[in-house]
């Protein structure tokens, strides 16, 4: 009886809060969008989801540029898998430091874009550092949904 009750309570909790999913983002020398990319470059996620950056090719890591208020800034280690738990609603804008000038940028939207003003204020500065494929930054911005 106790086990059945606990199973019911656990099931109700899962139904109420949902189940966090793991989202993998590969760091690639070459992918569908060309050279030096995160695949996918734009992710729509929910609170509690876990994003894992996978260094499919060597020489990459990911670093946050803008994160939602309350979420800690983050930086992975070169050639190592790295995971973050999405704990706050908003947009993460990130890049691969060694390949930023080549347009290796990405974005994660968690729920509503609560920090869109901050993103809009800072995206120009990041884009100015992208020598090749600056249109990738614009393509990310176009995918944000309010």
Binding site feature residues for Cu cation: 60, 96, 99, 104
Report the alpha-carbon distance of residue 50 to residue 45 in Å, rounded: 9
Which helix or strand (DSSP H or E) is residue 6 part of?
helix 2-17
Q: What six digits make up the tokens of 58? A: 């060597």
What one-character DSSP code corresponds to residue 80? S
Q: Is the pTM of this model over 0.75?
A: yes
Binding site feature residues: 60, 96, 99, 104
- Domains plus CATH for the chain? 22-142 (2.60.40.420)
Written as tens digits, the pLDDT of the chain (146 aa) is 555 444 444 444 444 456 899 999 999 999 999 999 999 999 999 999 999 999 999 999 999 999 999 999 999 999 999 999 999 999 999 999 999 999 999 999 999 999 999 999 999 999 999 999 999 999 999 999 99
Instruction: Yes or no: say if 47 and 19 are a contact pair by the CB < 8 Å rule.
Output: no
Instruction: Yes or no: say if 62 and 33 are a contact pair by the CB < 8 Å rule.
Output: no
């Amino acid at each position: 009886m106790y086990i059945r009750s606990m199973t019911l309570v656990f099931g109700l909790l899962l139904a109420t809060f949902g189940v966090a999913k793991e989202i993998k983002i590969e760091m690639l020398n070459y992918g569908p969008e060309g050279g030096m990319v995160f695949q996918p470059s734009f992710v729509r996620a929910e609170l509690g989801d876990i994003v894992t950056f996978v260094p499919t090719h060597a020489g990459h890591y990911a670093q946050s540029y803008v994160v939602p208020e309350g979420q800690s800034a983050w930086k992975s280690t070169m050639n190592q898998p790295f995971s973050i738990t999405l704990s706050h609603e908003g947009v993460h804008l990130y890049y691969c430091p060694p390949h930023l000038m080549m347009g290796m940028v990405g974005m994660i939207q968690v729920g509503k874009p609560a920090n869109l003003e901050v993103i809009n204020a800072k995206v120009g500065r990041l884009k100015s550092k992208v020598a090749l494929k600056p249109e990738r930054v614009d393509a990310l911005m176009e995918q944000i949904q309010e």
